[in-house]
Amino acid sequence: MASSASSAAATPAEPPRRARDRILSSKLYFDVPGSKAPVVYSPAYDISFLGIEKLHPFDSSKWGRICRFLTKEGHLEKNRVVEPLEASKDDLLVVHSESYLNSLKSSLKVASIVEVPPVALIPNWLVQQKLLYPFRKQVGGSILSAKLALERGWAINVGGGFHHCSAEEGGGFCAYADISLCIQFAFVRLNVSRVMIIDLDAHQGNGHEKDFANDGRVYTLDMYNAGIYPFDHVAKRYIDQKVELASGTKTDDYLDQLDKAFKASKSRFQPQLIVYNAGTDILDGDPLGRLKISPEGVVIRDEKVFRFAKDQNIPLLMLTSGGYMKSSARVIADSIINLSNKNLIELGNQLG
């Protein structure tokens, strides 16, 4: 995605009063009983759009398949999953401009963001219902996950992680800036003032990087393949800790570089909340990520991130982000099962 310097405006250090009022009046934060697990998902996340969704390599039924693996195999009871609300226009205006949101009323604009040209030919009301509504539900899930993470120590939104979208610009299948929104809500509602983004999707997280360009409250660790989209050199300037990988990087090298990055970050920033963007497009064979990480490597990666947070007693929320192979859902489910087996998360009943 070619980004101009003008789109790199920083999110202000303190949201303007209007944004703050919107956050305070939002319905996206609600009380979740202890009988529920801090796992957020809605069947509305999954995109089924006249078969057109198959024209993009993203597996748009991935989110539901992850939850089905977990529930059918007895790791998580279906009635313990938390269903989020849809992010409203007022919620989205906390970060996005009115003009950007209005631009999504053009099917042509949405088609360019999701990289599926035929979407341009579809009436916008249908695009809103079949494509943007699922995204808005996932945004609601990301925002709620921060609250759950502070309450429970961890949370997983089985969706979200739209890290290419910034306040003024969507792209790369990302129409709304859920990471930026989630953090802005946390600043206002959760008494949080230091947030670390650990972005381990194969692609650079240029959206949130631009949104928090000069905001010292947010520290970004981004480890990505430098030889693939988005090539956003403006956003690169705002990464606090950058680990650039070459195409073809293998599992052992990848995990070694991650260990070194974590060791370095501990002395640089002490967060009160970690937002973990856990893309599985690092998997060997992924057509877009072009890295060679084994399924076991992804499981170990996630375990390292959760352990990094737990060892420092930092609440963590995980977003599933990119992953362009059918096998991604199985790998994510296996990783969540491993986190539970290692007592890094607790999928059982929290009452007692």
DSSP code for 128: I
Could you identify the residue written with the tokens 């928090």? 212
Amino acid, res. 35: S
- Distance of alpha carbon 210 from alpha carbon 208, whole angstroms: 5
Single out the catalytic residue among 164, 203, 208, 233: 164
- Distance of alpha carbon 289 from alpha carbon 202, whole angstroms: 5
Could you identify the residue written with the tokens 């009160």? 272
Residue 158's closest CA among 175, 144, 176?
144
SS3 151: helix
- Extract the runs of DSSP E, i.e. beta strands, from 209-352: 218-225, 241-245, 273-277, 316-319
Question: Are 235 and 164 a contacting pair, CB within 8 Å?
Answer: no
Beta-bridge partners for 223: 243
Residues 6+ apart with CB under 8 A from 33: none
SS3 301: helix
- Distance of alpha carbon 35 from alpha carbon 75, whole angstroms: 15
Q: What is the dihedral of CA 117, 121, 127, 132, to 10 degrees?
A: 30
Question: At 279, phi and psi to the nearest 5?
Answer: -60, 140
Catalytic (active site) residue 164? yes
Residues labelled catalytic: 164
